[in-house]
């Protein structure tokens, strides 16, 4: 894995304007992310985390600055920056297989034959252990399974960067832990660059190489970046009493709850 | 892939369990019992409306049974129009044919007019739903036009087409298109942002977006529009045919009125009602088949 700046946020600022009123959501966001890194962005609700992710995805245009992926400016959405949405966003009228195939057939229509595409769909369903439900519709499977399919669909686009928008937010604690392990495993196997939005401190520290902590809005910016120097694979049980882990966790908690309390708590 | 942790929420036990729970229930019940419970369900649906119909016929019979009554009684209708009631598909001459044939002629016109309205309506509705400016420009115009009654279009379409058959079809078209356009537009406007985001990330072009996202996502709304539309076209065809003539069921009523065959008119009304009901159910059934899974998110 090379260590050149792979993804670069250069002075990103974002304001939303409605009529005469303008709200500055993000200001002066600067960050470089190396290829293969797992980066979490954490902050209180309303700090603009999701806006930042949408900017990287190309779904929201920047007001100032730019996102550079391999020195090229990102200004529209594309499959090389696949998104796993918070609420899975599977198309309910398609089966699990068809949801993934919609992505695969679009992205690889020119480069893979029909049977290669089928194999690739099955390979990705295999990766998230969802082959058994490939002919089910999203309404017939559990929330955790839907999110797995969402991840499979994103991975199947063979993205340079996988963007995860609070991917485990809507899940119960046990399902969430299983899915976190799945994502860590996939990250180990494929070495994707991943950016995850979260508001869960444990999740951020457990999964990430770096935790990016955002200050509160309006005009939120990056307050601190914490390197989590834990070797992989990480096992949650072994980490409970690990010094590096508990220190990292304490540092994030300290940032979020002592220095940058949520506005409602501070008031 | 062998890590047991990863199988997470895989419903391994659920898959074999569901058939095992269902099959013994079915085979365990004797056939007669199944038939009996089915018969009870059907009876529950059929008997109450049957009683109401019999009561209505009875009231009607009593109300018009005195000599010199203005309308025939049900028994009188049966005596006068027995051939029409019993055999919908007889042919005794060019104008003396069963009501089934007349209904089919009318249905053919409806199929043309409504089919055209469905295609154009969904396309125009999709454009209006997608574009704020198209909506601002077209919506007020449509809101005015949709209140124009079907028959008010007839003279102008007769003038334009100079023939009764295309005029009737045009009246169907123009009557049924508005609810289709308006409902499709609402459905398209209500496509969740998530689906649009997926389309954006995958870079679907507008044709792919139309077929893969827009139509399935807006399908419940589209079918609501189609259902209202088919009802309106059936209303319009009868009125239009009364004026344009020809073979349809509408003209039959007009013809029967002119020759004072009141019993025939009453039979024709029942035909129209039943066919309208069946059309509505047909579109609803297609709708619930096509949109299965969409509403159950």
Percent of chain B whose predicted confidence (pLDDT) is above 90? 47
For residue B39, what are the contacts with CB-CB under 8 A and spacing of at least 6?
none
Percent of chain A whose predicted confidence (pLDDT) is above 70? 97
- Residue A97: closest CA among A131, A148, A129, A127: A131
Where do runs of H (alpha helix) occur along B131-192? 132-145, 150-161, 164-189
Distance to chain A for B297, nearest Cα, Å: 6
Using an 8 Å CB-CB cutoff, list residues of chain B that contact chain A.
Answer: 1, 3, 5-12, 15, 192, 194-195, 197-198, 200-204, 208, 212-213, 216-217, 219, 291, 293-294, 296-297
**Contact by Cβ (8 Å): B249, B99:** yes
Instruction: Kindly state the average pLDDT of the residues A50-69.
Output: 92
Distance CA B1, CA B3 (A): 6
Q: Across the interface, do B11 and A142 touch by the CB < 8 Å criterion?
A: yes
Query: Strands across the sheet with A64-69, in order?
Result: A21-34, A5-18, A64-69, A72-73
Instruction: Kindly state the average pLDDT of the residues A14-22.
Output: 87
Q: List the domain boundaries for chain B.
A: 83-291
Distance CA A123, CA A108 (A): 14
- Residue A44: closest CA among A200, A164, A225: A200
Instruction: Kindly state the average pLDDT of the residues A248-261.
Output: 88
Q: Across the interface, do B208 and A106 touch by the CB < 8 Å criterion?
A: yes
Is the pLDDT reported for residue B13 higher than 50?
A: no
A85-89, A126-130, B199-203: segment of lowest average pLDDT: A85-89
Place of tokens 């209180």: A44
For residue B126, what are the contacts with CB-CB under 8 A and spacing of at least 6?
B184, B185, B188, B210, B214, B218
pLDDT band at A4 (very low <50, low <70, confident <90, very high): low
A188-192, A248-252, B163-167, B289-293: segment of lowest average pLDDT: B289-293
Is the pLDDT reported for residue B223 higher than 80?
A: yes
Q: Across the interface, do B203 and A79 touch by the CB < 8 Å criterion?
A: yes
Q: Give the pLDDT confidence of A163-216 residue by residue, as tens digits.
A: 999 988 878 888 889 889 989 988 998 888 999 999 899 999 999 999 999 998
Average pLDDT, chain B: 85
Where do runs of H (alpha helix) occur along B1-131? 14-28, 31-63, 74-80, 82-86, 99-130
- Residue B236: closest CA among B156, B296, B147, B174: B174
Q: Which two tokens stand for residue A180?
A: 């976190």
Chosen CATH of B83-291 out of 2.60.40.420, 3.40.190.170, 3.60.21.10, 1.10.3720.10: 1.10.3720.10
Q: Give the pLDDT confidence of B269-282 residue by residue, as tens digits.
A: 999 999 999 999 99
Q: Give the pLDDT confidence of A71-112 residue by residue, as tens digits.
A: 889 889 999 999 998 888 899 999 999 999 999 999 998 899
Instruction: Kindly state the average pLDDT of the residues B141-148.
Output: 91
A219 or A40: whose pLDDT is higher?
Answer: A40
Distance CA B238, CA B231 (A): 12
Distance to chain B for A120, nearest Cα, Å: 16
Place of tokens 């340079």: A160
pLDDT band at B8 (very low <50, low <70, confident <90, very high): very low
What ipTM did this prediction achieve?
A: 0.86
CA atoms within 13 A on the CB side of B102: 30
Instruction: Kindly state the average pLDDT of the residues B206-224.
Output: 92
Is the pLDDT reported for residue B293 higher than 60?
A: no
pLDDT band at A267 (very low <50, low <70, confident <90, very high): very low
Q: Across the interface, do B293 and A59 touch by the CB < 8 Å criterion?
A: no
Q: With an 8 Å Cβ cutoff, is A77 touching chain B? A: yes
Q: Which two tokens stand for residue A84?
A: 């796993």
Residues of chain A contacting B216 with CB distance shorter than 8 Å: 91, 93
Q: Which two tokens stand for residue B192?
A: 């969740």
Distance CA B297, CA B293 (A): 7
Per-residue confidence (pLDDT) for residue A153, from 0 to 100: 94
Q: Give the pLDDT confidence of A138-159 residue by residue, as tens digits.
A: 999 998 899 999 999 999 998 9
Instruction: Kindly state the average pLDDT of the residues B60-76.
Output: 87
Task: Report the chain A residue with the minimal C-alpha distance to residue B220.
Answer: A93
Per-residue confidence (pLDDT) for residue B295, from 0 to 100: 52
A99-108, B11-20, B204-213: segment of lowest average pLDDT: B11-20
Residues of chain B contacting A132 with CB distance shorter than 8 Å: 10-12, 15
Instruction: Kindly state the average pLDDT of the residues B178-198.
Output: 93
Instruction: Kindly state the average pLDDT of the residues B155-159.
Output: 91
- Residue A234: closest CA among A200, A207, A252, A194: A207
Is the pLDDT reported for residue A130 higher than 80?
A: yes
Per-residue confidence (pLDDT) for residue A115, from 0 to 100: 93
- Pick among A76, A91, A128 to test the B interface (most B CBs inside 10 A): A91
Tally A–B CB contacts below 8 A: 98
Average pLDDT, chain A: 89
Is the pLDDT reported for residue A119 higher than 80?
A: yes
Per-residue confidence (pLDDT) for residue A39, from 0 to 100: 95
**Contact by Cβ (8 Å): A162, B201:** no
Place of tokens 């009875």: B58
- Residue B58: closest CA among B69, B50, B48, B67: B50
């Amino acid at each position: 894995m090379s260590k050149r700046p792979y993804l670069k946020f250069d002075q990103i600022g974002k304001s939303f304007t409605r009529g005469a009123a303008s709200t500055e959501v993000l200001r002066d966001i600067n960050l470089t992310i190396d290829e293969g890194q797992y980066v979490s962005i954490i902050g209180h609700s309303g700090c603009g985390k999701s806006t930042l992710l949408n900017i990287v995805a190309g779904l929201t245009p920047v007001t100032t600055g730019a996102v550079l992926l391999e020195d090229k400016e990102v200004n529209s959405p594309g499959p090389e920056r696949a998104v796993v949405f918070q609420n899975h966003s599977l198309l309910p009228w398609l089966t699990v297989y068809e949801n993934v195939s919609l992505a695969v057939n679009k992205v690889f229509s020119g480069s893979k034959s029909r049977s290669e595409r089928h194999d690739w769909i099955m390979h990705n369903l295999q990766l998230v252990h969802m082959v058994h439900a490939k002919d089910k519709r999203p309404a017939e499977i559990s929330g955790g399974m839907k999110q797995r399919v969402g991840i499979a669909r994103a991975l199947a686009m063979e993205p340079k960067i996988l963007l995860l928008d609070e991917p485990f937010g809507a899940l119960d604690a046990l399902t969430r832990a299983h899915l976190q392990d799945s994502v860590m495993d996939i990250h180990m196997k494929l070495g994707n660059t991943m950016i995850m939005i979260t508001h869960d401190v444990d999740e951020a520290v457990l999964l990430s190489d770096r935790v990016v902590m955002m200050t509160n809005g309006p005009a939120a910016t990056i307050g601190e970046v914490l390197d989590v120097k834990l070797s992989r694979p990480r096992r949650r049980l072994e980490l409970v009493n690990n010094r590096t882990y508990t220190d990292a966790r304490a540092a994030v908690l300290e940032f979020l709850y002592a220095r940058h309390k949520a506005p409602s708590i501070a008031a | 892939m062998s890590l047991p942790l990863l199988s997470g929420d895989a419903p391994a036990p659920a898959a074999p369990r569901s058939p095992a729970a269902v099959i013994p229930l079915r085979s365990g019940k004797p056939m007669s019992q199944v038939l009996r419970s089915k018969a009870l369900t059907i009876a529950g649906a059929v008997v109450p409306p049957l009683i109401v119909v019999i009561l209505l016929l009875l009231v009607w019979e009593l109300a018009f049974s005195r000599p010199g009554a203005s309308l025939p009684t049900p028994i009188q209708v049966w005596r006068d129009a027995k051939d029409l009631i019993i055999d919908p598909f007889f042919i005794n001459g060019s104008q003396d044919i069963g009501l089934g044939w007349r209904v089919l002629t009318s249905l053919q016109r409806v199929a043309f007019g409504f089919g055209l309205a469905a295609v154009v309506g969904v396309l125009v509705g999709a454009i209006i739903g997608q574009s704020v400016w198209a909506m601002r420009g077209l919506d007020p115009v449509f809101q005015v036009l949709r209140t124009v009654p079907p028959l008010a279009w007839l003279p102008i379409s007769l003038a334009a087409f100079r023939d009764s058959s295309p005029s009737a079809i045009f009246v169907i078209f123009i009557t049924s298109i508005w609810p289709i356009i308006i409902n499709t537009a609402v459905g398209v406007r209500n496509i969740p942002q998530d689906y649009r985001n997926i389309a954006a990330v995958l870079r679907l072009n507008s044709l792919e977006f139309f077929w893969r996202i827009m139509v399935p996502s807006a399908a419940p709304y589209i079918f609501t529009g189609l259902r209202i539309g088919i009802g309106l076209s059936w209303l319009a065809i009868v009125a239009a045919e009364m004026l344009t003539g020809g073979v349809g069921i509408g003209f039959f009523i007009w013809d029967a009125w002119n020759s004072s065959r009141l019993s025939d008119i009453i039979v024709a009304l029942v035909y129209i009602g039943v066919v309208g009901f069946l059309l509505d159910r047909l579109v609803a059934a297609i709708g619930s088949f096509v949109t299965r899974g969409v509403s159950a998110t």
